Amino acid sequence: MVVSDARRQAYLAAMGLTAWRRRDGETTEQAEAVSAPEADAAPVSNEPLGADWETLIQQVESCRRCPLHESRTQGVFGVGNREAELLVIGEAPGAEEDRRGEPFVGRAGQLLDAMLAAIGHSRKTVYIANIIKSRPPGNRDPVAEEIEACLPYLRRQIELIRPRLILLVGRVSAQTLLGSNAPVGRLRSQLHRLPGFAIPAVVTYHPAYLLRSPLEKRKAWADLRLARRTLEAGQ
């Protein structure tokens, strides 16, 4: 998924964040920050987001913000420790996630569990969520409109959890939340700051990709070690 400037602005606006624009001839460092237009930042629904977990869960379960509600079995809200120091964010539910109502199940979920265990964590100690809460038909990548509709839910989850570190798993998650067109290979192996939250973020490959490309697991292990060092250092 290539993120255009217009879509990046929309993603940031949907999250209620400041959108960055660059004048002709300016470097990134010289670019000025401007507030996203109020109309762009408005959620798809006029319903205010729940201020607590239970209200937010009910809103996701009954959500009609995008057409995906018509084909999903159920919303996949998230799972884990609501006071977790580590928040894991993937892209979208697949068929099994849609059936069970839990993110990262099946073979990819088993590999994620092993990855977390390698740095001393489990599903009970972290929180796991996705960019969007409903399964796209055919397990395709979510489109911009679907992401824009769902990001306010994820933003509120981040606000409620207040994690010390976020692990961005896969291309869609990393590109969306970092506002970048760069591939995972360029975004990984470094520490980012999540725009609008100043929370440290580490990018790594999606477990489904690692199952197809097992030689990349060594790189994913390096990313996990960076995540562990960041948590231990309290950055």
The answer to whether residue 22 sits within a structural domain is no
What residues are paired with 90 via a beta bridge? 130
Angle CA(24)–CA(29)–CA(32) in degrees, nearest 5? 60
Question: In this structure, are residues 119 and 224 in contact, taking their beta carbons and an 8 Å threshold?
Answer: yes
CA distance 88 to 140: 20
The answer to whether residue 49 sits within a structural domain is yes
Closest CA to 82 of 159, 194, 8: 159
In the predicted model, what is the mean pLDDT of residues 68-74? 94
Identify the CATH number of the domain in which residue 52 sits.
3.40.470.10
Whole-number mean pLDDT of the chain?
A: 85
The answer to whether residue 23 sits within a structural domain is no
What is the domain range of residue 101? Answer: 44-233
Distances, alpha carbon 11 to alpha carbons 38, 148, 167, 187, in Å: 14, 6, 19, 18
pLDDT at 11 over 70: no
The answer to whether residue 209 sits within a structural domain is yes
* pTM score: 0.81
The answer to whether residue 10 sits within a structural domain is no
The answer to whether residue 8 sits within a structural domain is no
pLDDT in tens, 126-173: 999 999 999 999 989 999 999 999 999 999 999 999 999 999 999 999
Distances, alpha carbon 114 to alpha carbons 6, 156, 221, in Å: 38, 28, 11
> How big is the chain, counted in residues?
235
Total of domains in the chain? 1
The answer to whether residue 15 sits within a structural domain is no
The answer to whether residue 206 sits within a structural domain is yes
